[in-house]
Chain A
Amino acid sequence: MNTNIGSANRRRGARLPLAIGLSVALVAACGTEQEGSSSAGEAREECANAEEAQRTYEAAWSQAAEQLGLEALEPTEEKVCEVDTSDWAAEPKSGNSYRIAFAAQGPTNSWALTNEEAFKYRAEELGVDVLYAAANGDATVQVDNIAQLVSQDPDALVVVPMGDGITGQVRAAAAAGIPVIMCAGRLTDDSDVVSTVTRQYELLGTMYAEWLAREMGGKGQVAVLSGLAGVPTAEYQKAAALDVFQRYPDIEVVTEQYTEWSPTVAKQVAANLVTQYPDLAGIWSDSGYGDLGVVQAYQEAGRPVPPMTGDAINAFLKAVDGTDVRFALSSFPPEQSMDCLDTAMSILEGEPVLDKVYISSPSFTHEDIDEYVRPECSDNLFVPALLPDEQLAELGLC
């Protein structure tokens, strides 16, 4: 393609339109090819086994409602279908065991570290070989990673997506005949992945907001603190929360701020909240790390901490253990990579899987803190941890 554009160099005026035209033609050509080679496209249209798939989807919502003691949670509209994977069923391509490629985030924080170790742990249990590549949190690096992994012709590819920028490479992998599983994140619907296995962001955002609304008695000022602007993990959760608050006429969202998931930044933001909104009745937050800073800011100002939400990180639980801080926590568990690998294996065995596997994970409030806090473990541990204790000790997490 480059050569074609290069030859058009002389006619400068026509260069851009020509390049666009060529790209469009090429993409269109690729697209048609894939439609033919994969049955996923057709299956999605008719939505096999829709009712049962939908029930599985809603189960995660009702479970969360039950755990937080809420009457009900209205699931976000989402169409989940069963995928016929008989076309993907295959013997191991080389040797006796399957080789599963894992395009991971790279151990840039404890979530990613646990995410990868859990995947490898499960792979060992199943007797599967892992081809591993780390993106260090960078979508551009991940594009290269996927290309390299695909060149080794694995039986399946599991990707922890670093951004929509990888979509093209994911499609190329699918076109090369490799089933792709999105793990702990998602791409757009037309990315040709067989299945997406993740905790649903909307569920987290909604359940935090509903719990908070109940705690506040359905009225008062609330501050919304989310992680990083423009990052899906932060924005989807926040959007779902704002939807909920909109349904309560007496709840006013007075400010929306970003904490960068940093306790330091969150503390500075919260120190502002203390002075600016003395009547704050609740703090919706997507991060336990951020909550650490929020609690400190209120305590240092000598003010009661408003009820708050976030993800279940041990540091926060240790900090509020024995205080009267009210909170609801859930998690985007790092160990969901195990479910991703399980789904990949089901696909290779030709068992039907759902196109979206929304996993359940424990949600709890301040009342159950004793059950979840791990005083002997590292601040960075996501609770409840699913890996065995000796493995956690090895990782320096316990």
Chain B
Amino acid sequence: VTVGTPAGPAPEPAAPVEPGVPAASAPEDGGLGRRLLALLAPLTGLVLVLLLAAITTPGFFSGGVLRLVLFHAGLIGITAVGQTLVLLIGGIDLSIGAVIGLTTVIVASYSVGEDGRLGTAVLLALAAGLGVGLLNGLLVTRRLVPAFVATFASFVLVQGVVTAWTRGAPSGTIPGALSPLGTGRWLGIPVPAWVFLLVAVVAGVVLSRTGVGRRIYATGANARATALSGVRTGGVVTGCFVASALLAVVAGLINAGYIGYVDAQLSRSLDLDSVAAAVIGGIALTGGRGRIGQTVAGVALLAVLLAWLRQLGAGAGAQLVVSGAVILLAVWLQSSGWTARSPRRTKQRDGVR
């Protein structure tokens, strides 16, 4: 669903948020029970995987493995929060992996390993992220390009720019001052997990307690109606893409700090991991429905699952098969209505779209 999709009968322009349309997700309407219900599927999955892990890989519940899971969850989670914002307005961001790569290349080539130049390098990386986010947002809002195509195009574009600029051989060292962000621990917990927690709390508060959040949900549920009620949906959509790109920069900085090198081989898996985590959590790909809490649950499930498969010694093929199966299961559960939706409302929504 893209912004500007004609949405059935035009609602009352006067109503700021048309009742009924975003109701399934608007924070005010979701009682505690419904919130818990939405978390039921990912949490059940999480418990199941933890049980399986306990049975099959005895060493799973050691401090070392747990810290690995938390590190991985942090890295996936930061991008997944950005992805969730974009999914909520009915888009998708496939340029996350490219922005992560771009960030490491910018930091390495500008700072050439010197701590003193790190600050400027980070600002440059953020500026680049801002640029990619704006490009995505403007393509989607001004040119009405589907988000899938727009962000994939910027993925290819950014990769091309990086390859042409570095002649395929990015080099340079990441300043040591960045390494605590990737390898550091606070209270025994990896720093990336703390960053994820912070990002998730901020995003959660913004989404559930502020006018900005309400506009995001309303735009995702019914962009036309929201626009007619006076909200500048273009700004909301662009803002979400920019937020996603900036969070990708943060993930890029963490990655750079973790390994200390420009990793030209780092795959694009973070794009898909971020989508997977959000979908497993129950964020609707059609926009307008889902909470950050669900994304956090999805991230936890995915990170535990990946760590467990690795501990099992499962090959790359098996890892992909299992991740794919879990995503399919999540999507199936969503569409079969096990999440917080009554059958009546499903019907109503389907009628509108």
Contact = CB atoms under 8 A, between A and B. Distances in A.
Contacts of B57: 276
Given A257-B313, A258-B316, A262-B266, A396 B261 contact: no
Interface stretch (B62-70, B120-128, B335-343): B62-70
A81 B259 CA distance: 46
A108 B168 contact: yes
Contact of B263 (A229, A256, A264): A264
B315 A268 contact: no
A276 B262 CA distance: 28
A156 interface: no
Interface in B51-101: 57, 59, 62, 64-65, 68, 72
A276 B72 contact: no
Given A275-B64, A296-B259, A315-B261, A396 B171 contact: yes
Given A109-B168, A113-B169, A265 B266 contact: yes
Contact of A397 (B64, B169, B263): B169
B266 to A, nearest CB: 5
Interface residues of B, number: 34
A59 to B, nearest CB: 32
Interface in B247-298: 255, 258-267
B117 interface: no
Nearest to B313: A255
A315 B108 CA distance: 14
B169 A257 contact: no
B266 A379 contact: no
Contacts of B183: 300
A296 B260 contact: yes
B265 A275 contact: no
| Interface size range of chain A in the complex | 35 or more
B24 to A, nearest CB: 38
Contact of B68 (A256, A263, A268): A268
A395 interface: yes
Contact of B265 (A257, A276, A289, A395): A289
A268 B255 contact: no
Interface in A248-289: 254-258, 260-265, 267-269, 271-272, 274-276, 289
A262 B64 contact: no
B31 interface: no
Contact of A263 (B261, B267, B315): B261
A269 B68 CA distance: 10
Contacts of A113: 167-169
B317 interface: yes
Interface string A371-398: 0000000111000000000000001110
| From A110, A315, A395, residue with most partner B Cβ within 10 Å | A110
Given A263-B259, A263-B263, A296-B260, A271 B68 contact: yes
B229 interface: no
B311 interface: yes
Interface string B307-319: 1001101011100
B59 A107 contact: no
Contact of A378 (B62, B65, B169, B313): B169
A120 to B, nearest CB: 14
A272 B62 CA distance: 11
A264 B68 contact: no
B254 to A, nearest CB: 11
Given A271-B68, A272-B310, A396 B267 contact: no
Contact of B261 (A254, A274, A292): A292
Contact of A272 (B163, B171, B265, B311): B311
B168 A112 contact: yes
Top 8 A-B residue pairs of the complex, sorted by shortest distance between their CB atoms: A275-B64, A110-B169, A262-B265, A107-B168, A229-B316, A378-B171, A380-B169, A255-B313
16 contacts: A107-B169, A109-B169, A110-B171, A112-B168, A255-B313, A256-B315, A261-B265, A262-B267, A271-B64, A272-B68, A272-B310, A275-B59, A289-B265, A379-B172, A379-B173, A395-B169
Given A110-B168, A269-B310, A380-B170, 5 more contacts: A229-B315, A265-B266, A271-B64, A272-B65, A379-B172
Interface of B: 57, 59, 62, 64-65, 68, 72, 163, 167-173, 183, 255, 258-267, 307, 310-311, 313, 315-317
